[in-house]
């Protein structure tokens, strides 16, 4: 009887150990997926702000950067990711004081994800859009 009880306990411990390994694996996979998503969005933002077409690089209009064939695909990808992209970009705004082209592109994408009316645009920079967004959503 004692030997049988000992075997049952060993089996229970093994099962518990296996389930804990599975749980750790799922957590590691989620962290890895999030990291990959962040890297993908970062890469696409980099492609948009550093276009292959040098004539776009000469433009001071941020909207020109999302019109090119390759950059438009990258921009559409970011927007199509919806809330996941929005959360990533909002966190990026929150953790930086930068206010350049990348921030303007992120603001454009955020407004499209949020389905904001372009006619009601009351911002001149990405940082200003973010500051207005934070004030309106506190």
Q: Tell me: the pLDDT tens digits for 85-118?
A: 999 999 999 999 999 999 999 999 999 999 999 8
Whether residue 99 is contained in a domain is answered as yes
Whether residue 19 is contained in a domain is answered as no
Cβ atoms 89, 109 nearer than 8 A: yes
Whether residue 8 is contained in a domain is answered as no
Whether residue 46 is contained in a domain is answered as yes
Whether residue 18 is contained in a domain is answered as no
Distance CA 26, CA 91 (A): 24
- pTM score: 0.75
Whether residue 21 is contained in a domain is answered as no
**Number of domains composing the chain:** 1
Whether residue 3 is contained in a domain is answered as no
Residue 54's pLDDT is: 82
Q: Containing domain of residue 53, as a range?
A: 32-136
List Cα–Cα distances, 97 to 17, 126, 130, in angstroms.
46, 11, 11
Residue 20's pLDDT is: 60
- Within the chain, which residues score under 50 in pLDDT? none
Whether residue 11 is contained in a domain is answered as no
Cβ atoms 36, 28 nearer than 8 A: no
């Amino acid at each position: 009887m004692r030997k049988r009880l000992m075997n049952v306990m060993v089996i229970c411990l093994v099962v518990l150990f296996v389930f804990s390994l599975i749980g750790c694996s799922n957590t590691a996979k989620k962290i890895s997926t999030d990291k990959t998503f962040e890297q993908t969005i970062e890469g696409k933002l980099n492609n948009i702000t550093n276009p292959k077409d040098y004539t776009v690089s000469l433009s001071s209009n941020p909207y020109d950067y999302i019109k090119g064939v390759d950059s438009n695909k990258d921009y559409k990808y970011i927007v199509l990711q919806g809330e996941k992209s929005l959360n990533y970009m909002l966190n990026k705004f929150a953790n930086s004081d930068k206010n350049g082209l990348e921030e303007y592109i992120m603001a454009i994408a955020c407004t499209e994800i949020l389905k904001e009316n372009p006619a009601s645009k009351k911002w001149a920079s990405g940082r200003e859009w973010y500051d207005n967004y934070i004030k309106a959503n506190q």
